[in-house]
Amino acid sequence: MTDIREKVISCREITQFQKKVFLELLKVPAGQTISYGELARRIGCRCPQAVGQALRKNPFAPDVPCHRVIRSNGKIGGYFGKTDGDMIERKRKLLESEQ
C-alpha cells in the first residue's frame, strides 16, 4: 500500500481535497465499507457529496478502493458516477470478492 500512497501524494493531476479523500480511503481494510458521510467526517468535510465527486474521478481505482464507499443506509451507492447498470454490478462484485 505504501506504493499507492506515494502515487497519490505525488500526483499533480488531482486536487489537495482528492488527495485527502483517497489517502483516508486507503485506511479502510479489504472486506469493510465506509459511508460517504463517515469518510467526509474523517477528513473534516461537511459534505458527503463532495467526497462522492472526488471518488467519481478516482484515477487510482481499484488500488484506491472507492468501491468500499457506500451510502449511510447501507445501500451500494454509485460507482464512477453511475447509479445503476454495469458499473454498479462491478462495484458489487468487487465488494463480494473481498469477503
Residue 60: how many CB atoms within 10 A of its CB?
Answer: 17
Nine-digit cell string for 92: 458489487
Question: Using an 8 Å Cβ cutoff, are 98 and 30 in contact?
Answer: yes
Which one of the listed residues 11, 45, 47, 66 is annotated catalytic? Answer: 66
Query: Which residues neighbour 10 within 8 Å (Cβ) at sequence distance 6 or greater?
Result: none
Is 45 assigned a catalytic role? no
Of 26, 17, 21, 16, nearest in space to 42 by CA: 21
- As annotated, the active-site residues are 66
